[in-house]
Structure 1
Amino acid sequence: MRFVRYLFSGTLPALLLFAMLLTSLYLLSESTQNSEQFSQLYIAMLALNALILVILLGLIIYSVIKLIRGYRNRAPGARLTMRMVVMFVILAVTPVTIVYLFSVQFLMRGIDSWFNVQVESALEDAIELSRSSLDARMKELLHDSEVMGGKLENVSDTFMAVEVDDLRVESGADELTLLAQNGHIVASSSSDPTRIVPYQPDDVILSYVRNTGPYVGLDAINDLLYIRVVVPVTGVVDGGMGGFIMQVLYPVAERLDRLARNVQDAYGRYKALAYLREPLKFSFIVTLSLVLLLSILSAVLAAFSSARRLVAPIGDLAEGTRAVAAGDYNKRIPEIGGDELGILVRSFNVMTKRIAHASDEARRSQQEAQSQHAYLEAVLSRLTSGVVVLDSELYVRTINEMAVQFLKVDRSALLDQPFTQLAELHPGLEDFVAALTPHFDQGGSEWREEVTLFSGGGRQVLMCRGTTLPDEDGGAVGHVIVFDDITNLVQAQRDAAWGEVARRLAHEIKNPLTPIQLSAERLRHKFLNKMEEKDAAVLDRSTHTIVQQVDAMKAMVNAFSDYARAPKIELQRLDLNTLVYDVLELYRGPGSGVAIEKSLADALPEIEADAGRLRQLVHNLLKNAIEALEDVDTPVVTVRTACMQKEDCRYIELRFEDNGLGFPEELLGQLFEPYVTTKTKGTGLGLAIVKKIVEEHGGVIRGENLEPNGAAIVIQLPVMDGKSDREEQA
């Protein structure tokens, strides 16, 4: 395979073809001088030319296939090679083709001029002249032979041999032979005494003489040219008259023989050349075509050779570039001459050397950065606060383990993603994203925000703090968010604060109320019957007012104590629909004046709750809704339950709706704070107690206005399939 590849590439095929073509041209030039040699060498030359053509085609096909394969594979330098080959072929073919066309025309006209009509006519006239001269001589010799035959008519057999010899000498013939009719020799005479047997005519000539008459012809005998004359002779045979046949051989003069042969040979060669005129034309055309093909092939091979020399450094550069792209910065290319490609190769080597040095420096810096990053990760993983680091485009770059636990997210799904995508991946964190995003846009140095979330585990309060990461120019390169879960802390602080309030109320307010009430009742009992009617009426109204207000203050203090103290929650599985239905039945009746409607969802899952606390919640909300509808013509209260799904959190939604005037817009954010109320009567603790009950059960509560009028309280309670968090903590 290597030998075939070497044979069809390089300079060896060109040299081989050149040698074969020179041999073919030499044989062709030699054969044109000899028609017999031309006919003998025609097959060999045809085979040789066919072999040359096959090798040419093989070279061209191999080169073209190799070039096309490299072009399709996008091999380095393939396109440049193709352009160079095309350019060289065009530059070579154009002048060679012009020369080829002119050469073909010149040869065709030259060969035609060789076979001019005047030359052919002159040769034919010369041959005709020779023939006419020879015919006259032959006629003359025929007449002389007939005369000699007449002299032998009366010669007896005894003197026949002597007479024959005398006649031969007299006529100058080379040989004279007298034959009987049956072809037997009667007498013979020759100028060569060593010739024993005379040259006899063949049977065809004898038959011709017997039947037709005298024969005269030009015959070659022993490479000598003779004029053969055969005539019938009447003579004495056995004492009577009989018939003989006389043959006379006259030698042709040597000079005449040579001239005749020369003319004949020249004419024969001319005829042979004239016969081979078209093959000669074809042969010369084939020769010129071979020269043309050799020139084109040489140009193509020169193009390939030059392209390989030019492309070799380009291929090395491409290989070096791929190595550098793959990270091998120690790649070096062998340097070549001092031309432009050599300068390019040296520049590449210098560049890779510098890149290798820079890569080593970058690798060391990267290792240091990785070690620092690992150290930072170790520190962040041990923090009890959640930490999230964002870049300038608000993409999450770092998030520690506590942040993952607080937010209940997947670290891998969140890293390198926009911060806003946190809300898309986890809809339960929409409030978290919405609360923090404005701080990023404001560009403040430090900020603080408390965020309340609701998830499958219930209500969660996060205290978030953030700051901007500045760069050297004072611009922002990112943001750091640090947050803690303060749900339990807030609950504990609230319980402790209201517990302290309850204790102070007990000491400061509740204890004096009983003596005040007793004193008022004692005054009423002692002096009411002893006073005049007018004064008694005043005393009755005053003491009655004191007792009523003391009872109201006792109720307020008791309500406040109920809100402040944290009773033990007794959780049990219950059906919320059943509990709501039982409470609603207490408010149905013809004397209520308010239409109470219900829309309870079917197949509502059970929840774990304290039934007593939830009944208190429903009573408080129904009471508030009925009191808010005092001035409405057709008051309607609607209670709805539904099972909702938000991400992976299933929860029950309990709604209390009325068609009253709704909540004042300025109080919507403070509805559940103590002492916030829109009624002229009441303590303002009803909704605060409701919120406390909801939070004890891990739920969330909110108030909203309805369109076109009315208000609604919405409670969301988690569906707990296992034990509650408080039971687990207990």
Structure 2
Amino acid sequence: MRWLLLVSASLATIALFLLATATSNNTMFAQGYDTLVLLNGLLVGLLMLVVGWQLWQLRRNLRSGVFGSRLAVRLVLLFALVAVLPGALVYAVSVQFIGRSIESWFDVRVDRALEGGLNLGRNALDYLLRDTANKAGQIALALTENQGDFAATLRRTAEQTGVHEAALYTATGGVLGVAGVGGSTAAVEPPPTPALRLARLQQTYAKIEQMGDAGLVLRVVVPVNTDDRLSPLKLLQVIEPVPRPLAHDAERLEAGVRDYQEISFSRGALKRLYALTLTLTLLLALTSALGLAVVLSERFSAPLGLLAEGTRAVAQGDFTRRQPVVSRDELGVLTESFNTMTAQLADAHGKAEESRRATETTRAYLESILGNLSAGVLAFDEDLKLRTANPSAAVILQQPLAELTGMALADWGKRLPALSPFAELINEGFRASREGQWQKEAEFRVANLSRTLMMRGSRLPGPAVAGGYVVVFDDVSELVQAQRDAAWAEVARRLAHEIKNPLTPIQLSAERMAVKLTDKLEGADQDALRRGTQTIVSQVAAMKNMVDDFAIYARQPRPGQMQHVDLSALLLDVLGLYDNLRPHVALSLPVAPVFVQGEPTRLRQVFHNLIANAVEAQAGVSPPIFAIALTESDGYVTLSFTDRGPGFPPDVLSHAFEPYVTTKAKGTGLGLAIVKKIIEEHGGRVTLENAAPQGARATLVLPTVGHGRPPASIAKVSI
């Protein structure tokens, strides 16, 4: 506390000296006077707190009978008496003297002269600004009347009016032309935001502004109305530099007036500031005198106080405190014993802290690994209660697994019914495995979608606290679906190859048989022959259609056929084949064309399949409805087909895109499979859902390539 008092008193003295210096220095006054006043106030307050604390300590020592406390009280009273009386007298005289001196600094005649000069400069600048605005209006009128060549008109009228710089802009800030007698080659500065707002309101913007090295300039922005339907509003900006002598004189005059007004307005503040400086000086002297008296008493209690402070620090967990041994008596032995004790405690605390950091590092490392795994990981205790689950587990299952922490696996279905089959499978896996390890591939409903999970469970070795079970699972739905698609594509390719070859000979043979034998038979035999050959031909045609579906499904994408396709035009082209459906079609298309990168023939096949499915689904519905909507958002185009048919049964909906899955009495089940395959080859996705209150909806999502007029390589579709 002794050194704190000394340092505080020294800092307060230095700060008070700087404060007195700043009072007579305008630059320092403006930059740091408030900071110095605050600093001095804080330092004096700190000194008062230190001295107050010392006086409280002295009073406590006096009541406790500490040796030397009575002498310390007498010294404090003596120094306070010596400091207060002269300080109070000097303080009162100084405050009165400074107040009267400040009032004599100001005169009313100076105020009037400065105000007149300032008004004269402002009127001169206002005259120049009005003149510039008139010139801008003349140029704007000429531009409105001659809209053929804005640049030539701007140059001619700018030279006629003699403006320094004139620039014509679009409403969005694009430069249409620059002219003027200034002949500057630098980039023109665009109109400010307030000017743009006033121009849109058909108002003129006129301001005197400071523009970098150019000094004061007159900026005028006026609206120019044209016949351009895309951008009818243009903006004319005229910039005239203020003559340098006038700008220089105006700045000096304004600066002089501002300085004088600041000093004049701050008369009362100056009085208060000087009084505050004297007050701080008085308080500094008083607190320093009191502190000096109190310091004398500290030498008697310093050693015991240091030990008490060290004990409090150890109690708060600080084991680094070491107290100096200043004597060889019993007090020195006590201090040395205290230092030894704190050193031993610091060593023990350091080892414990190191062990804790190592444990936290290992735990953070494991959590980082689990957090970045794409597979889901679930850890259970011996009673199959969930200990922890990584974020991927919640993402794969689409369930808040954090709510299940500490809950037994058997109770998961009560909290989250969607996880009941998943929990039962884990329970069954550990119950049926003898060595605590099992692996299964199962299919679950996740967010109303059928997902295939590969699961593996294992028992953790170790005691009951560290042991337990762990389950690792991953979503392999895409992999399984890719394997199925590849297998079905190979089957379709082989069927198309093996079946298509004999179909044509069969058909030709049946037709030749009908031609040669029809005239040789009569009556019932002739009818039987005709019906038989027609049956063969029709069934061969049906098999050819099926083989064609197989070929389409097995066909590989052709990158060379990809081009820009206007989906709106292609959809209208396909709907042209269904003129009988037009009264029942609710079509919603964007005004602007929407282009995708695709193969027109295959996209046409997609639209045909979906429209044909909707027609067949509404065979018994009257009246049928075909709702087709095309929208674009965030770089993707969404195309939906909705009907009022019976929709899809739940067991069919989850497998609707697989081959040979159909609800029709006659059908190959390849229509939706072909749609999914083509859309995915185009980088998109397709979804099916049952519409409310009845019907089905197929939604296609494809990436777009842009808007507007198609380039030369875009496929043209007749409408």
TM-score (norm 2): 0.45
TM-score (norm 1): 0.44
The structure that has the greater radius of gyration is 1
